[in-house]
């Protein structure tokens, strides 16, 4: 469903020269699976997701979604995905219903199928009581529901969640994670980025631990713990990052002094 191979993104900097945001990332995510990108701020998670959603072009490497290339077939890729982040905006002067309807029309849905789809969504996400509420008057939880609805109104096979629970209170975050889990159970392929260990441990079928543009380890929670002889994901996470920083320069290249020391 999602195939990423040696994805690289770098920028030119007058002082530092070529700066890498991604240094050759590869992974696969399948239908009925939540693939977690776990890492601290600046790890490269958002860069990966922006490339997958065709907002950024990679410097090198390839990424395909449902068989469509993110660089050569961006318009087809956009019809395959729904994207949501903590920064997804809600228009102040639109009601919840108007907002979701607007995005459904952008995806080319005809009137009757769109109405049926929206009725099902508003019932499923318990949004009927807010369908006439303006964006300016919505609580954070209401806005999150609208953001989810507009991301899935066209029933895409792939969903991308970028730090979606950041800044949410416990109840709203719990409800969002429950919805994500239900979407997975309905066969969606989901990529979920987070820096919260508990979310990754409970929610994700496979986890990629990212740091400074690289994937340091990848697998199920059980596989990662067994491979690295560690039962706690947080301890495993910090151990991998510490080892990477000890043996690599900030740009991700090998540190020869660390190699000699070891």
Q: Which of 160, 129, 151 is nearest to 142 (CA)?
A: 129
Cβ atoms of residues 230 and 236 within 8 Å: yes
Reported confidence tier of residue 174, pLDDT bands at 50, 70, 90: confident
List the Cα angle 234/235/239 in 5-degree steps.
120
Alpha carbon distance 145, 151 (integer Å): 10
Cβ atoms of residues 233 and 201 within 8 Å: yes
Lookup result for tokens 């395909």: 64
- In the chain, the domains with their CATH numbers are 2-80+156-261 (3.40.50.300), 86-155 (no CATH)
State residue 19's pLDDT score.
Answer: 86
Look at residue 259 and tell me whether its pLDDT is greater than 80. no
* pLDDT tens digits, 41-87: 889 999 999 999 999 999 999 999 999 999 999 999 999 999 998 77
Alpha carbon distance 183, 34 (integer Å): 9
State residue 71's pLDDT score.
Answer: 97
State residue 250's pLDDT score.
Answer: 61
Alpha carbon distance 245, 233 (integer Å): 18
Q: Maximum CA pair distance of the chain? A: 68
Entry pTM: 0.87
* pLDDT tens digits, 191-229: 999 988 889 999 999 999 999 999 999 999 999 989 988
* pLDDT tens digits, 27-48: 999 999 999 999 988 899 999 9
3-state secondary structure of 239: helix
Among 3-17, 75-89, 92-106, 238-252, which stretch is predicted with the lowest mean pLDDT? 238-252
Q: Dihedrals φ, ψ of 129, to 5°? A: -75, -10
State residue 253's pLDDT score.
Answer: 59
Look at residue 260 and tell me whether its pLDDT is greater than 60. no
Q: What rounded mean pLDDT belongs to the chain?
A: 90
Look at residue 248 and tell me whether its pLDDT is greater than 80. no
State residue 81's pLDDT score.
Answer: 96
């Amino acid at each position: 469903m999602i195939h990423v191979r040696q994805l690289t993104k770098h920028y030119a900097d007058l002082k530092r020269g070529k700066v890498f945001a991604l240094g050759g990332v590869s992974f696969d995510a399948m239908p009925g699976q939540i693939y977690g990108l776990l890492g601290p701020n600046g790890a490269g998670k958002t860069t990966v997701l922006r490339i997958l959603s065709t907002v950024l072009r990679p410097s090198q490497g390839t990424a395909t979604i449902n068989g469509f290339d993110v660089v050569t077939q961006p318009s087809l890729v956009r019809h395959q995905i729904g994207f949501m982040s903590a920064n997804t905006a809600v228009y102040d002067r639109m009601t919840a219903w108007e907002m979701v309807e607007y995005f459904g029309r952008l995806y080319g849905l005809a009137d009757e199928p769109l109405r049926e789809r929206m009725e099902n969504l508003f019932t499923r996400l318990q949004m009927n009581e807010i369908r006439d509420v303006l964006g300016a008057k919505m609580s954070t939880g209401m806005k999150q529901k609208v953001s989810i609805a507009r991301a899935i109104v066209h029933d895409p096979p792939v969903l991308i969640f970028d730090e979606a629970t950041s800044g949410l209170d416990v109840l709203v975050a719990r409800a969002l994670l429950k919805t994500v889990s239900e979407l997975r159970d309905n066969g969606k392929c989901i990529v979920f980025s987070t820096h919260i260990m508990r979310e990754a441990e409970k929610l994700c079928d496979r986890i990629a631990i990212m740091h400074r543009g690289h994937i340091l380890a990848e697998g199920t929670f059980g596989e990662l713990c067994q491979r690295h002889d560690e039962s706690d994901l947080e301890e495993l996470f910090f151990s991998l990052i510490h080892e990477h920083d000890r043996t690599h320069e900030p740009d991700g290249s090998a540190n020869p002094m660390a190699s000699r020391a070891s």
